[in-house]
Amino acid sequence: MSADVELQNVSVTFGSFYAAKNVSVKIKQGEFFSFLGPSGCGKTTLLRAISGFLDPSEGKVMIGGQNMAGIGPNKRPTSLIFQNLALFPLMSVADNIAFSLEVKGVSKTKRRDRADELLELIALSGQGDKKVHELSGGQRQRVAIARALAIEPEVLLLDEPLSALDLKLRQKMRTELRAIQKRVGITFIYITHDQGEALTMSDRVAVMNEGELEQVGLCDDVYDFPQTPFVATFVGENNPFYGKVLSVDKDMVKVESQGNAFLAKAGKIDEQNKHNFKNGDEVIMFIRPESIFIDNQNNKLDNNFVAKLNTIEFEGNLKNIYLNINSNMNVRFSVPNAIDTSELSTNKDVQLTFSSEKAVVLPKGSLAVD
């Protein structure tokens, strides 16, 4: 069983502070959906409103088409995985997993059978009699998932459960979580500030900032077609070019920035494929570091500019190259480590090029602070 979740104009206030502001989103049944945003953006608040630990000040939470107002967390078809997992340290692994069944009054042998079944699902067969502290971080993670699945929830809510793990384990658990979700087929709602996590696991993501939804969409759409400057800079890296609109031709916008004229796609397109850029509008053009190339005469694209090399930073698989266009405008791009950059030297001009297809123009707005 799996249910859809719909938030209708949900606001949560603490005094005069809006932790969540007029959030409306429809999460489909069986979907892996992530709320992505910086800490304090209200994503945990939304999760608590869905799980029933707090009531929205305004709006409705609908699960499986049913209004959840007045229904407590122990009566909702949801199950929550806490950031610190909140496993019960004094119980064995099997007792942890079967706690929800114990609550329902299921007999001891049946509980044990179900716990063994779930232990198999999470690849921890035969570890049921261990205490929680005897397990490794990744194993605990899986036990928390099994415990949450034991009540057969229709919606599984996950509150940054991977944040305490180290990088390698986190990457492994992403794959594993996704696989478990596919196997059990229920709706997963995942909260994270890590865009890598959100993009690798989710079907769709909602990017949040200051209690409001900035953009909801498929992962690649959110990455390739950000709708706001915040999304453009929070999800992945981006180079902002502040400037003015010179001319508009259908979906392509010509922008003047730092003495250069660039051609870029118009972002912020509505459902009818319309935008409302006009000549003279203050805008930001975004171009991602991986879309900028060194111009070696053979690969010239439709946008070109010159910048002085500042530093080259080695990051394993990539090299990050930092340049200055002028004293108040920096730009950064990345090249694979295999590319030879020995010809570049500090404070020398570098010819750069990028495609107008990869650049996005958005109305001026606040960026994600990093």
Residue 103 in the binding site for another protein (CB under 8 A) = yes
Long-range pairs of 85-88 with CB within 8 A, sequence gap ≥ 24? 85/140, 85/141, 85/143, 85/144, 85/161, 86/144, 87/132, 87/140, 87/143, 87/144, 87/147, 88/132
Question: Which two structure tokens, joined as six digits, stand for 109?
Answer: 């042998």
DSSP 323-337: EEEETTEEEEEEEET
Nearest residue (CB) to another protein, 81 versus 359:
81
**In this chain, which of 72, 129, 134, 136 binds another protein, going by CB under 8 A?**
72
**In this chain, which of 34, 44, 51, 181 binds another protein, going by CB under 8 A?**
51
Residue 70 in the binding site for another protein (CB under 8 A) = no
Residue 122 CB, nearest distance to another protein (Å)?
Answer: 17
**In this chain, which of 25, 151, 169, 252 binds another protein, going by CB under 8 A?**
151
Residue 187 in the binding site for another protein (CB under 8 A) = no
Nearest residue (CB) to another protein, 61 versus 325:
61
Residue 364 CB, nearest distance to another protein (Å)?
Answer: 41
Residue 53 in the binding site for another protein (CB under 8 A) = yes
Q: Give the C-alpha separation, 16 to 127, whole Å.
A: 49
**What values do phi and psi take at 116, rounded to 5?**
-65, -40
Q: Starting at the edge strand that comes first in sequence, how are the strands of the sheet with 5-14 ordered?
A: 17-27, 5-14, 58-63, 66-67
Q: Residue 156, Cβ neighbours under 10 Å: how many?
A: 23
Euclidean distance between the first and final Cα of the chain, in Å? Answer: 40
Q: Give the C-alpha separation, 96 to 55, whole Å.
A: 28
Residue 71 in the binding site for another protein (CB under 8 A) = no
Residue 339 in the binding site for another protein (CB under 8 A) = no
Residue 45 in the binding site for another protein (CB under 8 A) = no
CB contact burial 161-174 (16+ within 10 A = b; e otherwise): bbeebeeebbeebb
The length of the chain is 370
What is each CA distance from 280 to 115, 120, 248, 257, 305, in whole angstroms? 65, 63, 10, 12, 21
Alpha helices, H only, 272-319: none
Stretch of residues binding another protein (CB under 8 A), selected from 131-139, 143-151, 333-341, 360-368: 143-151
Stretch of residues binding another protein (CB under 8 A), selected from 7-15, 71-79, 310-318, 362-370: 71-79
Stretch of residues binding another protein (CB under 8 A), selected from 35-43, 82-90, 166-174, 248-256: 82-90
Q: In angstroms, how far is CA 125 from the centroid of its own chain? A: 32
Residue 79 in the binding site for another protein (CB under 8 A) = yes
Residue 101 CB, nearest distance to another protein (Å)?
Answer: 9
Question: Which two structure tokens, joined as six digits, stand for 352?
Answer: 């750069």
Residue 42 CB, nearest distance to another protein (Å)?
Answer: 18
Residue 195 in the binding site for another protein (CB under 8 A) = no
Stretch of residues binding another protein (CB under 8 A), selected from 108-116, 142-150, 260-268, 316-324: 142-150
Nearest residue (CB) to another protein, 151 versus 294:
151
Nearest residue (CB) to another protein, 156 versus 307:
156
Half-sphere CA count of 135, side-chain side, radius 13 A: 27
Amino acid in the structure at residue 363: P
Residue 121 CB, nearest distance to another protein (Å)?
Answer: 17
Residue 115 in the binding site for another protein (CB under 8 A) = no
Residue 347 in the binding site for another protein (CB under 8 A) = no
Site residues for another protein per CB under 8 A = 51, 53, 72-75, 78-80, 82-84, 86-88, 90-91, 99-100, 102-104, 147-148, 150-151
